[in-house]
Amino acid sequence: MIRAILRAQWLSMRSFRLASHRRGAVFSLATAILWYGFWTLLAFLTEEVTAQPGLHAQIADWLPIGLAAVFAYWQLAPLASASLGASLDLRKLLLYPVPRRSLFLVEVLLRITTCVEMLLLLAGAGIGLLRNPAFHAWTLFFRAPLALAAFATCNLFLAAGLRNWIERLLSRKGMREVIGLLLMLAAVTPRLLFITGAPMHRFAHLLPAGRYPLWPWGASAELLLGAHAGLNPAAGAATLCAWIALAYLFGRWQFERSLRYDLQEAQATAVTARNRSWADPLYRLPSLLLPDPLSAMVEKELRSLARTPRFRMVFVMGFSFGLAVWFPMALRGHHADSIVSGNFLAVVSVYALTLLGQVTYWNAFGFDRSAAQIYFAAPVNFTRVLAAKNIATAVFIFLEIGAVATACSLLRLGISPGRIAETFVVVAVCALYLFAIGNMSSVNYPRGMRPQRVSSGGAAGRTQGLLFLLYPIALLPVAFAYLARYAFRSQLAFDVVLACAAALGAAIYVISMESAVSSARHRREMIIAELSSGEGPLAAD
């Protein structure tokens, strides 16, 4: 049964991704090589460090902390990046007489899609410990694989449960925004504690294994290090077993609840246009400034995105991250007395711009899916289509800046109108470069996205990772402007370099637009096919 599901998924991916979208497959392969290459390198370094006999005391101290970090990444990183990985599409699979435990097993195995990098690190640490003479004992050959496998199993069960729980929470009206707020609070809390002078050392005892062996990372370290670190491996094994049982029960419970969950019902109460009629005049604003059909497309884009759960989640995350940076500084009474803090508004706004990319300009037609064919069927120039998409994204970016700047002003952070205006200009220039690349990727690598799903697949995580590597290159011309201001201590130098960056960005944008329009003309059939494509039994958009 499981093999049939996995084979169906493989055939779905193979027939579509590899046959009709070879360039996309090559791109995916390249991102996978870069992303996992980076983590393999990190795993190798971990192996080298944990194999050092002279570091055995430090390893004993830091191993539980490292495992706690792996645990945190495994459970929280998919949520923080709004990329929850592949999952079973239960709507398709519930039709068949498949035992639920088999479905749950597949769901658990799919959690590997969000944590392959952690498995690499664990393998690196395990091999390093086995090679380390300081920990050498024949029992380690049994304990190390056992401890790491048990730790991974516990994480997989827990991740499966969390994913199902969070997915249901996020599908409800208002909960997405609450989750965004909680994420912001989670990000702010350590800074708040630090800035308000809370005794941080009191929290330190939570981590070392010897003093706190009841957490999975502590128990795993106890089983791994054993008597060499003065620990009791049997107690660690027993604790880990208990954690695995708890995680299994939690995962299974949440999975069963997801099976009974009616997504359509939850969202039927969430989205009705009547509730949003107050926003109509705002959506009509583009009609006052732009000609049709450009304004019609911008208006449609604003309405659609504002009502798309996945977009709203990312938008709130961009905004809340801004506050997460600024709010602790407000409490501290910190003012713009350094290069970084003086430009925080710009930094936060550019961050919001990059974050919104995954739901806007990198894949501009993703939420339109098959409806994107109207852009090819209607009598409109495709340049205007892409321009409308970019304008709508810019409107949301500027809303983000406005929101963060307003919050800063309310908190009396001393943001001058000049600095706010500068941020708008800087973000606009950055947007030129990112939109230029985004327009190309939107027509060459389109991918249908489900608007109601707030999560995205494992591949999206890799792509995001690669994009974070590309962002510094794309934003380099703007960075030069800041460098010029720092080097020459001159606002004029900043303005001149920024103007040059803007001119270069505009030229690149125009060239890229022509190229994207040409690609769209030649690839229109492929674009529509890719955006309309069905999926296999696993949902990973």
Partner 1 sequence: MPEAAIAVRDLHKSYGGKPAVDGLDLVVPRGCFFGFLGPNGAGKSTTIRMLNGLIPPTSGTIELLGMRLPEQEIEIKKRIGLVPDESLLFDRLTGAEFLEFAGRMYGLARPIAIERAQSLLDLFELRETRKLIAEYSKGMRKRLAMAASLIHHPDLFLMDEPFEGVDAVGARLMKEILLDQVRRGATIFLTSHVLEVVERLCDRVGIIDKGRIVREASMQELRGGSESLEDVFVRVVGAGREFHELEWLK
Q: How far is the CB of 264 from partner 1 (least distance, A)?
A: 8
Pairing between strand 87-88 and 538-539? antiparallel
Q: How far is the CB of 48 from partner 1 (least distance, A)?
A: 49
DSSP code per residue over 96-163:
S---HHHHHHHHHHHGGGGTHHHHHHHHHHHHHHHH-GGG--TTHHHHHHHHHHHHHHHHHHHHHHHH
Closest CB to partner 1 among residues 113, 456: 456
CB of 528 to partner 1, least distance (A): 6
Residue whose token pair is 């706190």: 212
Check: CB of residue 208 under 8 Å from CB of residue 64: yes
Compare residues 390 and 423 and give the one whose CB is closer to partner 1.
390
Nearer to partner 1, 47 or 167 (CB): 167
How far is Cα 385 from Cα 361, in angstroms, rounded to an integer? 12
Please give the residues from 315 up to 374 whose contact with partner 1 meets the rule CB under 8 A.
367-371, 373-374
Among 110, 125, 179, 297, binds partner 1 (CB under 8 A): 297
Q: Which is nearer to partner 1, 453 or 462 (CB)?
A: 453
172 binds partner 1 (CB under 8 A): no
Q: Considering beta carbons, is residue 228 or 447 the nearer one to partner 1?
A: 447
Torsion, CA 94, CA 99, CA 102, CA 104, rounded to 10:
60
Question: Per-residue x/- mask for partner 1, residues 29 to 58, rule CB under 8 A?
Answer: ------------------------------
Instruction: Report the distance separating Cα 331 and Cα 193, nearest Å.
Output: 11
Residues 435-454 binding partner 1 (CB under 8 A) are: 451-452
Q: Which residue from 131, 168, 300, 419 is in contact with partner 1, where contact means CB under 8 A?
A: 300
Tell me how far, at minimum, the Cβ of 434 lies from partner 1, in Å: 24
Q: Which of 168, 152, 110, 23 is nearest to 540 (CA)?
A: 110
Contact residues for 521 (Cβ-Cβ < 8 A; gap 6+): 382
Q: How many angstroms separate the CA atoms of 223 and 465, rounded?
A: 33
- Between CA 505 and CA 70 the distance in angstroms is 40
Q: Per CB under 8 A, which region of 96-104, 107-115, 265-273, 458-466 contacts partner 1?
A: 265-273
Which of 246, 214, 206 lies closest to 232 in space, CA to CA?
A: 214
State which of residues 109, 146, 296, 440 lies at the interface with partner 1 (CB under 8 A). 296
449: left (phi > 0), else alpha (psi -120 to 50), else beta?
beta
Minimum separation from the CB atom of position 22 to partner 1 (A): 12
CB of 516 to partner 1, least distance (A): 18
Q: For the CB of residue 292, give the shortest distance to partner 1 in the complex, in Å.
A: 5
Stretch that binds partner 1, among 42-50, 148-156, 216-224, 304-312 (CB under 8 A): 304-312
Quick note: the x/- pattern for partner 1 over 377-406, rule CB under 8 A, is: xxxxx-------------------------
**x-marked contacts with partner 1 along 266-285 as a string, rule CB under 8 A:** -xx--xxxx-----------
Say whether residue 532 binds partner 1 (CB under 8 A).
yes
Residue closer to partner 1 (CB basis): 220 or 308 = 308
Residue among 168, 303, 334, 419 that touches partner 1 (CB under 8 A)? 303
Of 528, 538, 539, 540, the one binding partner 1 by CB under 8 A = 528
**Cβ closest to partner 1, residue 5 vs residue 528:** 528
289 binds partner 1 (CB under 8 A): no
Rg of the chain over Cα atoms, rounded to whole angstroms, equals 25
Q: Which residues contact 467 (CB under 8 A, 6 or more apart)?
A: 354, 357, 358, 362
Return contacts of 489-497, CB within 8 angstroms, 24+ apart.
none
Burial pattern 242-252, b for ≥16 Cβ within 10 A else e, equals: ebbeebbebbb
For the chain, the straight-line distance linking the first and the last C-alpha, in angstroms and rounded, comes to 23
* Least separation in angstroms between CB 535 and partner 1: 15
- Tokens for 283? 């959506």
Tell which residue, 44, 40, 209, has the closest CA to residue 131.
44
Q: What's the closest the beta carbon of residue 525 comes to partner 1, in angstroms?
A: 4
Q: What is the nearest approach in angstroms of partner 1 to the Cβ of residue 300?
A: 5
- Interface stretch with partner 1, choices 188-196, 216-224, 295-303, 321-329 (CB under 8 A): 295-303
Q: Minimum distance between the CB of residue 530 and partner 1, rounded to whole angstroms?
A: 12
Query: Which one, 305 or 474, has the nearer CB to partner 1?
Result: 305
Amino acid 376 reads F
Geometric angle at alpha carbon 327, from 321 and 332, rounded to 5° = 140
Q: In angstroms, what is the minimal distance from the CB of 170 to partner 1?
A: 17
Smallest distance, partner 1 to C-beta of residue 167, A: 18
**What DSSP line would sit under 336-372, residue for residue?**
S-SHHHHTHHHHHHHHHHHHHHTTTGGGTTTTTGGGG
Q: Using CB under 8 A, pick the residue from 168, 191, 307, 334 that binds partner 1.
A: 307
Give, in degrees to the nearest 5, the angle at Cα 197 between 195 and 200: 100
Q: Binding-site residue total for partner 1 (CB under 8 A)? A: 38
Q: Does 299 bind partner 1 (CB under 8 A)?
A: yes
Interface region with partner 1, contact rule CB under 8 A, candidates 164-172, 182-190, 299-307, 495-503: 299-307
What residues line the site for partner 1 (CB under 8 A)?
267-268, 271-274, 287, 292-293, 295-297, 299-300, 303-305, 307-308, 367-371, 373-374, 376-381, 451-452, 524-525, 528, 532
